[in-house]
Amino acid sequence: MAKVHVTTSINGEPMEFLCEPSDTMLDALRGTLNLTGSKEGCASGDCGACSITLDDRLVCSCLMLAVESEGHEIRTIEGMAQGDRLHPLQQKFLEMAALQCGICTSGMLVASDALLKKNPDPSEEEVRFWLAGNLCRCTGYDKIVRAVMETAAEMRAQ
């Protein structure tokens, strides 16, 4: 089957790539584009390790076709820090030990960022329900929830 040509924007950079019509966005990111920060934990939309944003909307890149990125803005974990300046969420995850093995971390950060953009002052319950699509088997979520709440508070104070 002939490959499809896709023109998109990834982390603010114009990007073109070829893919099979059946490739997922996660396949394209990890394979063709060599952006391996997004992880595959399930390929069925249940773990959130592959979370990215499509035009600021949080999506599982394993559930989206690569061709669907045509003309849209994709953001991944690789675009979260600004140069050598970490995003406040990344900094807080480090300070508060909100990661253990780190395999869920990219997805958690992308999802938390999307939450704080939508709601800069989420309650604990809102954080928990928003992140319910991101599985973490190591942390028991406690430190992740605290890190997101604390980042939100600091970002509001600025």
Partner 1 sequence: MNVVTNNKWIGQRTIRPDGMDKVTGRAQFAADTTMPGMIWGKVLRSPHPHARIRSINTAKAEALPGVKAVVTSKDIVDFPIEKGAVMLGIQDMRWMCRNVMARDKALFPGHPVAAVAATTEAIAAEACKLIEVDYEVLPWSIEIDDAIKPDAPILHEFNKFDGKPSNIAGRLEHKKGDIAEGFKRADVVIERTFTTRPVHQGYIEPHACLISVAPDGKTTIWSSSQGQFMVRAMTSMLTGIPQSDIRAIPAEIGGGFGGKTIVYLEPLATLLAKKSGRPVKMVMTREEVMRATGPTSGSKSTVKIGATKDGKIVAAHGTFYLQAGAFPGSPIRGAAGCSFTPYDIPYLLSEGFDVCSNRSKVAAYRAPGAPIGAYAVECVLDEVAEALKMDPLDFRLKNAAREGTKAAHGPTFPRIGYVETVEAAKNSPHYAAPLGDGHGKPQGKLRGRGVASGFWFNAGGESSAQVNITEDGNVVVTTGHPDIGGSRAGIANICAELLGIDYRRVSVIIGDTQTVGFSNLTGGSRVLFASSMVVTQSTEKIIQTLRERAAKIWEIDPEAVKWEQGAAHPVSPNAGQFEPLTLQQLAEKAPAMGGPIGAGVQLNTQGADGGFGTHVCDVEVDVDLGIARVIRYTAVQDVGRAIHPGYVEGQLQGGVAQGIGWALNEEYIYTKEGKVDNPGFLDYRMPVCSDLPMLDCIMVEIPNPKHPQGVKGVGEVPLVPVMAAVANAIYNALGKRFYALPMSPPKVLEVLEAPTREAAE
Q: Is residue 18 a contact point for partner 1 (CB under 8 A)?
A: no
Name which of partner 1, ligand FES, none residue 60 binds, using a CB cut-off of 5 to 8 Å depending on partner kind.
ligand FES
| Residues making contact with ligand FES (CB under 6 A) | 40-43, 45-50, 60, 62, 99-104, 136-139
Site for partner 1 in 49-78 (CB under 8 A): 49, 76-78
Which has the closest alpha carbon to 42: 141, 138, 134? 134
Which strands make up the sheet holding 51-54, listed edge to edge?
A: 13-19, 4-10, 73-75, 51-54, 57-60
CB of 142 vs ligand FES, minimal distance in Å: 12
134 binds partner 1 (CB under 8 A): yes
Fill in the amino acid letter for 156: R
Shortest Å distance, C-beta 6 to partner 1: 19
Handedness of CA 100, 103, 106, 109 (dihedral sign): negative
